[in-house]
Amino acid sequence: MVQFLFEDNAEFGFGYRLAFDKHAEQAQELLTGLGSALGSSLVDALLAADQSTEAGIAGQRERVAALLEKLKGLDGLEARRLERLAEYLVRKSVWIVGGTAGPTTSGTAASITCWRWDAT
């Protein structure tokens, strides 16, 4: 959970969602690039995973754990980057809840709390 106090909470929330989406995109690109070293069955399963249910998300977490084990045996910058981004292969929701915190010189400030829902 992250808490902030500022005026542009909608813009911040949108930026937070864009950052998560970009990390997921980068993880998918790295995964595809390392496909021959990781094995096509794992890569294909990670990329095509149905994460529309809790069971699907749990299955993806297991595949990500298997991916991290395989990455330990690989050298190179791409493998290290994918280790750091692998969690973004699991679907996440970003929730932003805001409320008025009080007046400022340019309007009203908002206090928002951001949660990244991992459904653990």
pLDDT band at 13 (very low <50, low <70, confident <90, very high): confident
pLDDT in tens, 91-112: 887 666 655 555 555 554 555 5
Residue among 106, 118, 8 at smallest CA distance from 54: 118
User: What are the structural domain ranges in the chain?
Assistant: 2-117
Q: How many CB atoms lie within 10 A of CB 49?
A: 17
pLDDT, tens only, 23-58: 999 999 999 999 999 999 999 999 999 999 999 999
What token pair was written down for 28? 């998918």
Per-residue pLDDT, averaged over 3-10, amounts to 58
pLDDT in tens, 72-85: 999 999 999 999 99
Answer yes or no: is pLDDT of 66 > 80. yes
Angle at 96 between CA 94 and CA 102, to 5 degrees: 160
